[in-house]
């Protein structure tokens, strides 16, 4: 069986998806849709001559085709809800890029529509498919640190890249930095802690990046650094340290889980995992190799490739999605709660939003 894909939005991430699908024998890209002719050109180029998809400037013409099994939605965050309303008018499988939506109202509407959809709905929270993170999660499954009490994620990276029409410069388009970027990390926290997030306290600001930029006279309003603390129902706590003017550092991400029995750390992109029990100074380090199945490393350390392998597997075997609408909704809610906490200068209870 070949899975025929249509890709909606062929900017940076849509092309990343296409380059990954090109490397999968049992998949094909038969159509692409984007209002920008320039982006359609990028999409065609990303097919590297293996496919010559039909082009549409209106994604609804792509959705009208019966020969498309699955669509990838990689248009800007604020467009997801409208595109998904139309996707839900079909029975196609869908991989919707993160963040699922930019507001709670849209996320809840999307969840209601998804419950009735006959195709599979998968949210593109693909950091869980990075090889070092997969190894980290597998080790935790083996209970190497005992009961997890604390989970820490540091992302120190480069500023937001330029996007088509600069949509990511404003909270109203992206949902805000802690939704747009950090939904990945909130999802990771939920995977690691395996409990319900109940309360979020955050401090953050836009201190350095984009302050000298103007779009129709308007200064971007997106956060570039924050600390976020999440309290879980089971008493565990998680913390995110985000800095987007730290591209010179050694690693972009560092994850640390600590429990009653020890500590597990991993770094990305170095892929060094450090394991320790409670004996003073006794730790082991291990270099995590790229998963051998990865044919396309791409922009996310092979994660998009493995995400598509799993997406296709779930379609072929008629399985439930591995990354669900509920995962997507919770990760958005946590980002919104963190931003609300910064605005209020006080903790926010998740139940206020959910």
Ligand X SMILES: NC(=O)c1ccc[n+]([C@@H]2O[C@H](COP(=O)([O-])OP(=O)(O)OC[C@H]3O[C@@H](n4cnc5c(N)ncnc54)[C@H](O)[C@@H]3O)[C@@H](O)[C@H]2O)c1
> What residues line the site for ligand X (CB under 6 A)?
8-14, 33-36, 39, 59, 74-77, 79, 97-98, 124, 126, 163-164, 180, 300
The residue among 39 and 331 lying less far from ligand X, judged by its C-beta, is 39
Q: Which of 109, 113, 10 is nearest to 53 (CA)?
A: 10
Report CA 154 to chain centroid distance, whole Å: 16
Give the shortest CB-224-to-ligand X separation in angstroms: 17
Phi, psi (deg, nearest 5) at residue 166: 55, 30
Q: Which of 186, 181, 183 is nearest to 232 (CA)?
A: 186
Task: Please identify the residue of the shown chain whose CB is closest to the bound ligand X.
Answer: 11
The residue among 165 and 207 lying less far from ligand X, judged by its C-beta, is 165
**257 CB neighbour count, 10 Å cutoff:** 25
Residues 309, 6, 324, 120: what is their CA dihedral angle, to the nearest 10 degrees?
-90
The residue among 19 and 98 lying less far from ligand X, judged by its C-beta, is 98
The residue among 6 and 259 lying less far from ligand X, judged by its C-beta, is 6
Q: How far is CA 289 from CA 7, 142, 258, 263, 304, in A?
A: 30, 19, 23, 21, 16
The residue among 79 and 295 lying less far from ligand X, judged by its C-beta, is 79
Give the shortest CB-182-to-ligand X separation in angstroms: 11
Q: How far is CA 257 from CA 64, 216, 239, 275, 327, in A?
A: 46, 44, 10, 10, 20
Give the shortest CB-287-to-ligand X separation in angstroms: 24
The residue among 13 and 315 lying less far from ligand X, judged by its C-beta, is 13
The residue among 84 and 348 lying less far from ligand X, judged by its C-beta, is 84
Give the shortest CB-148-to-ligand X separation in angstroms: 25
**How many residues are present in the chain?**
354
Give the shortest CB-290-to-ligand X separation in angstroms: 17
Per-residue tokens: 256: 């640390």
Alpha-carbon span 16 to 199, nearest angstrom: 35
Question: Taken in order 123, 127, 131, 133, is the CA torsion positive or negative?
Answer: negative
Give the shortest CB-299-to-ligand X separation in angstroms: 7
Helix (H) / strand (E) containing 348: strand 348-349
């Amino acid at each position: 069986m070949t899975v025929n894909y249509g890709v909606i939005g062929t900017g940076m991430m849509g092309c990343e998806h296409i380059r990954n699908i090109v490397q999968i024998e049992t998949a094909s890209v038969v159509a692409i849709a984007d209002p920008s002719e320039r982006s359609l050109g990028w999409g065609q180029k990303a097919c590297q001559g293996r496919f010559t998809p039909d082009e549409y400037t209106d994604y609804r013409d792509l959705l009208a085709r019966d020969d498309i099994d699955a669509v990838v939605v990689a248009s800007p965050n604020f467009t997801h809800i409208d595109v998904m309303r139309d996707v839900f008018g079909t029975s196609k499988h869908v991989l919707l890029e993160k963040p699922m939506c930019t507001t709670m109202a849209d996320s809840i509407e999307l969840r209601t529509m998804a419950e009735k959809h006959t195709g599979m709905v998968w949210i593109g929270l693909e950091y869980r498919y990075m090889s070092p993170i997969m190894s980290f999660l597998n080790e935790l499954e083996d209970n190497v640190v005992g009961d997890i009490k604390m989970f820490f994620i540091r992302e120190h990276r480069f500023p937001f890249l330029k996007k088509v029409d600069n949509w990511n410069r404003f909270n109203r388009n992206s949902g805000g930095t802690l939704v747009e970027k950090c939904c990945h990390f909130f999802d990771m926290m939920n995977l690691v802690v395996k409990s319900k997030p109940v309360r979020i306290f955050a401090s953050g600001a836009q201190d350095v990046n984009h302050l000298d930029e103007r779009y129709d006279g308007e200064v971007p309003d997106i956060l570039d650094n924050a600390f976020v603390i999440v309290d879980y129902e089971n008493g565990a706590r998680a913390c995110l340290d985000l800095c987007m003017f730290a591209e010179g550092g050694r690693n972009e991400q560092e994850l640390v889980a600590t429990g009653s029995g020890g500590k597990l750390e991993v770094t990305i992109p170095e892929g060094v995992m450090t394991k320790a029990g409670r004996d003073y100074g006794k730790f082991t380090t291990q270099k995590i190799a790229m998963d051998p199945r990865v044919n396309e490393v791409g922009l996310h350390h092979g994660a998009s490739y493995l995400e598509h392998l799993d997406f296709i597997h779930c379609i072929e075997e008629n399985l439930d999605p591995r990354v669900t609408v509920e995962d997507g909704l919770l990760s958005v809610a946590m980002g919104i709660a963190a931003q609300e906490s910064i605005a209020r200068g006080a903790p926010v209870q998740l139940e206020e939003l959910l």
